[in-house]
């Protein structure tokens, strides 16, 4: 099944007044970034990706250089490359769930053995290394997590990340950390997984934090040279090289990234506060406080409510959309609220719609 079948881009953005489904900031306008691409030669690009862009990406992290960075077509293709390079029918995968759909659907299509470790609201959605250890088998080749976690916005403590890397080393497997929301952290910076250990593969992109999903630029970072070569070979089989236009736009944006990001950060901090104010007043719902990403994953306390009706009314009467629980293989009383995309006023109205909708269905 196409994973994005209910996504706003498929439904049509014009049908949605209050869009709280997105896990990103809103899309950047081409005219808002000063670009000069007139001299660009429309040749095949470097198979690894534009070297200057790789260098800029690596610069943010200690221990890493452009040698460790492979440019991909969005994080989506990086995840596909990792899954198809590391998993076979005979392999075993451990998925920390909820996870991004591709991190489950591609391995399912490959036909490998999959075990899920479910994060629980009751445990503050925190990751237990012991739970993961208990699922390890002789044929485990990959453990997969999203960080900041999608859809809860939870951050993994560095000690836990190191314990997971050590677990992978001991069992000769790898840790895939989908860090697509990385720059959208609300507090201090935390280390990139791949900069900590050569058993960790980090994936990210320009889509979520910089509002540039239309240029399809992402990357895969690994300190493991043989693994890196495998990923390059997979990239070449799928699309040879990236679009040089996309790479150039990302490169020029990255040169001024800090300037553009200042405004973005102010916006997400303001919207974060709006969500926190709303949830502390909305007693019919509860939430584990997010620390990163621009998403949170509250739940309706009363599971007896007609939740099908709830989403119908929310969408039709209030023209408000959130990511319902089934997007994440979770019960429908959970919902992902994305607070980076809407303006502050739209967010306030969207959250109010959820409360009004709860009034409506209890009647």
Beta-carbon contacts of residue 269 (< 8 Å; ≥ 6 apart): 186
Task: Rule CB under 6 A: say whether 28 interacts with ligand PLP.
Answer: no
Q: Which residue number, 81 or 168, has a Cβ lying nearer to ligand PLP?
A: 81
CB 269 to ligand PLP: min, Å? 21
Please state the closest distance from residue 207 (CB atom) to ligand PLP, in A: 3
Q: Is residue 183 classed as helix, strand or coil in its secondary structure?
A: helix
Q: Decide: helix, strand or coil at residue 244.
A: helix
Tell which one of 211, 218, 324, 325 touches ligand PLP (CB under 6 A).
218
Nearest residue relative to ligand PLP (C-beta): 74
β-sheet bridge partners, residue 286: 299
Binding mask 84-103 for ligand PLP (x = CB under 6 A): ----------------x---
Q: Which of residues 41-70 bind ligand PLP (CB under 6 A)?
A: none
Q: How far apart are the first and last CA of the chain?
A: 36
Q: Is the peptide bond before 151 cis (omega within 30 degrees of 0)?
A: yes
Piece in contact with ligand PLP (CB under 6 A), picked from 72-80, 106-114, 133-141, 183-191: 72-80
Do 25 and 263 touch, CB atoms closer than 8 A?
no
CA 73 to chain CA mean position, Å: 15
Residues 129-168 interacting with ligand PLP (rule: CB under 6 A):
146, 150
Concatenating the DSSP letter of every residue in 86-133 gives H--TT-EEEEEES--THHHHHHHHHT-EEEEEE--GGGTT---HHHHH
Closer to ligand PLP by CB, 104 or 313: give it. Answer: 104
Residue 201, SS3 per DSSP = strand
Cα–Cα distance, 183 to 251 (Å, whole number) = 17
DSSP code at position 332: T
Task: Decide whether 81 or 307 has the Cβ nearer to ligand PLP.
Answer: 81
User: Judged by CB, which is closer to ligand PLP: 103, or 333?
Assistant: 103
Q: Tell me how far, at minimum, the Cβ of 103 lies from ligand PLP, in Å.
A: 8
String marking each residue 180-209 x if it binds ligand PLP according to CB under 6 A: x------------------------x-x--
Shortest distance in whole angstroms from residue 10 CB to ligand PLP: 13
Asked if 174 and 168 count as a contact pair (C-beta separation under 8 A), the reply is yes
Residues that bind ligand PLP (CB under 6 A): 23, 74-76, 100, 146, 150, 178, 180, 205, 207, 213, 218
């Amino acid at each position: 099944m196409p994973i994005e079948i209910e996504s706003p881009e498929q439904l049509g953005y014009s049908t949605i007044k209050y869009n709280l489904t997105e896990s990103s900031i809103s899309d950047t306008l081409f005219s808002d970034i000063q670009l000069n691409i007139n001299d660009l030669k429309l040749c095949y690009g470097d198979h690894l990706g534009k070297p200057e862009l790789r260098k800029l990406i690596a610069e943010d992290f200690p221990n890493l250089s452009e040698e460790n960075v492979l440019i991909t077509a969005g994080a989506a293709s990086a995840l596909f490359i990792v899954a198809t390079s590391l998993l076979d029918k005979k392999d075993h995968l451990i998925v920390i769930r909820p996870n991004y759909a591709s991190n489950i659907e591609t391995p399912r299509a490959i036909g490998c053995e999959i075990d899920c470790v479910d994060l629980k609201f009751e445990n503050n959605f925190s990751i237990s290394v012991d739970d993961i250890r208990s699922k390890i088998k002789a044929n485990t080749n990959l453990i997969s997590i999203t960080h900041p976690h999608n859809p809860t916005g939870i951050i993994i403590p560095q000690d836990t990340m190191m314990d997971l890397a050590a677990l992978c080393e001991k069992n000769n497997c790898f840790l895939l950390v989908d860090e697509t929301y990385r720059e959208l952290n609300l507090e201090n910076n935390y280390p990139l997984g791949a900069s900590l250990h050569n058993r960790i593969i980090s994936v990210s992109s320009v889509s979520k934090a910089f509002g540039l999903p239309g240029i399809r630029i992402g990357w895969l970072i690994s300190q493991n040279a043989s693994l890196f070569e495998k990923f390059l070979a997979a990239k070449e089989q799928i699309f040879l090289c990236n679009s040089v236009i996309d790479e150039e736009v990302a490169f020029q944006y990255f040169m001024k990234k800090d300037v553009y990001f200042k405004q973005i950060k102010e916006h997400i901090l303001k919207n974060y506060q709006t969500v926190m104010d709303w949830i502390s007043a909305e007693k019919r719902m509860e939430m584990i406080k997010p620390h990163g990403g621009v998403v949170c994953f509250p739940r309706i306390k009363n599971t007896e409510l007609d939740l099908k009706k709830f989403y119908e009314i929310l969408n039709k009467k209030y023209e408000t959309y959130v990511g319902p629980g089934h997007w994440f293989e979770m019960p429908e009383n959970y919902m992902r609220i994305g607070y980076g995309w809407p303006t502050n006023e739209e967010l306030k109205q969207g959250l109010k719609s959820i409360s009004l909708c709860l009034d409506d269905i209890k009647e």
